[in-house]
């Protein structure tokens, strides 16, 4: 017998029943086993902007048409907004706000006495697409101290 595809046949032969079944089941089979839980209810937090910046798009590294980007490690934040049944939510309003590289917020009570990064937008918003997806370009959050308490890296 002339076997033109011995590697493929050997591979399929070694899979066994469970491996072959996994290759040919429908996409998302394991996703159904995930338990969808609603996002916990939260408040805006103490440093939600008390005065909205002029630029509120989803790119927090560049303010309006400036050419100087914010200081910090560039990060891309993505995700999806879904209903409890796993359906995408279109046009959901997603917003983020965070400290800059100096640990300052876009809030009068959240600025560091040493100054802030004037090139960092600090706040952004995005409407989800038809698949419920959102995207932000920002900096990697830093750990900082506020009111004598250590704050770990986080986004509200």
Q: What is the CATH number of the domain that holds 139?
A: 2.60.130.10
Specify whether the backbone of 147 is left (phi greater than 0), alpha (psi in -120 to 50) or beta: left
- Whether residue 14 lies inside any domain: the answer is no
Range of the domain at 102: 36-151
Q: Is residue 22 part of a domain?
A: no
Q: Is 83 part of a structural domain of the chain? A: yes
Q: Is residue 21 a part of any domain in this protein?
A: no
Q: Does residue 8 sit within a domain?
A: no
- Measured at the CA of 145, the angle between CA 120 and CA 152, to 5 degrees, comes to 80
7 is a domain residue: no
**pLDDT > 90: what percent of the chain?**
44
Given this model, what pLDDT does residue 95 score? 94
Tally of domains within the chain: 1
pLDDT in tens, 72-91: 999 999 999 999 889 999 99
Cα R_g (the chain), whole angstroms:
23
Q: pLDDT of 133-151, one tens digit each?
A: 999 999 998 877 666 555 5
Q: What pLDDT is attached to residue 14?
A: 47
- Report if residue 98 sits inside a domain: yes
pTM exceeding the 0.75 threshold for the entire prediction: no
Banded model confidence at residue 100, pLDDT cuts 50, 70, 90: very high
């Amino acid at each position: 017998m002339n076997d033109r595809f011995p590697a493929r046949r050997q591979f399929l032969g070694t899979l066994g029943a469970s491996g072959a079944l996994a290759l040919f089941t429908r996409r998302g089979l394991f996703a159904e086993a995930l338990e969808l839980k609603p996002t916990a209810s939260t408040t805006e937090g103490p440093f939600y902007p008390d005065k909205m910046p002029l630029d509120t798009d989803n790119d927090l590294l560049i303010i309006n048409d400036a050419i100087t980007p914010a200081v910090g490690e560039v990060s891309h934040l993505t995700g999806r907004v879904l209903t409890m049944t796993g359906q995408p939510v279109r046009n959901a309003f997603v917003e983020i706000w965070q400290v800059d590289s100096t640990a300052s917020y876009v809030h009068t009570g959240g600025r560091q006495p040493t100054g802030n990064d004037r090139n960092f937008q600090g706040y952004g918003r995005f409407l989800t697409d038809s698949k419920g997806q959102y995207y932000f370009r920002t900096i990697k959050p830093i750990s900082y101290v506020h009111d004598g308490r250590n704050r770990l890296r986080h986004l509200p």
